[in-house]
Amino acid sequence: MEVQGRLNAFGTRRSVPDAKRGAFPAMRAVVQRVKRAEVRVGEEVVGRIGFGVVVLVGVGKNDTEAAGEALAEKIANLRVFDDDQGRMNRSLLEARGEALCVSQFTLYGDCRKGRRPSYDQAAPPDRALLLYESFVESLRKRGIPTATGRFRAMMDVELVNDGPVTLLLDSDRLF
């Protein structure tokens, strides 16, 4: 496996193996712990949860169902909920929380060049829909009550952050 230099957030070089540079598919997610959340299309509420997580999901052009499975497994078992001692020691499953999943192709926006983000790495809509629905089903199979937004619709997402706790995930574990 070849190792190449890459600048980190502080402008210094670090080594990153090719496998960690996108050689494999990597579905992306922003996970926010919430007290409650809902998503609307126009005036219609299309998804609503109480205590749990909002998951903004980005599907890349090289993603697979396996990438979605891995991401769902990670989210279901992330220990980001407080135990009896107030430590983040319980998973979404253990806390009996819910998930609100919203498709978000802009997570693949590349802003490194110019002023307009490039979405070249985002999956085409038909493929993204299939993989997004597969990801949602993977959460449900794990026993997570899961609500969704409406794919390709202009949505208003309203949430009350709990903490706040916000995490960036991808199935390649780049972050």
Question: 11: which DSSP letter?
Answer: S
Q: Which of 32, 104, 121, 148 is catalytic?
A: 104
What distance in Å separates the CA atoms of residue 140 and residue 78, rounded to the nearest whole number? 16
Name the active-site residue from 10, 51, 64, 105: 105
DSSP 95-136: HT-EEEEEE-GGGG-B-SSSSS-B-TTBPPHHHHHHHHHHHH
175 has catalytic annotation: no
* 4 tagged catalytic: no
Give the CA distances from residue 140 to residues 38, 99, 106, 122, 148, in Å, rounded to whole numbers and listed in that order: 18, 9, 24, 24, 11
Answer yes or no: 106 catalytic. yes
Catalytic residue among 4, 10, 24, 106: 106
Q: What is the Cα–Cα distance from 49 to 51, expressed in whole angstroms?
A: 7
Helices 65-77, 125-141: inter-axial angle, 10-degree rounding: 40
- Please list the active-site residues: 104-106
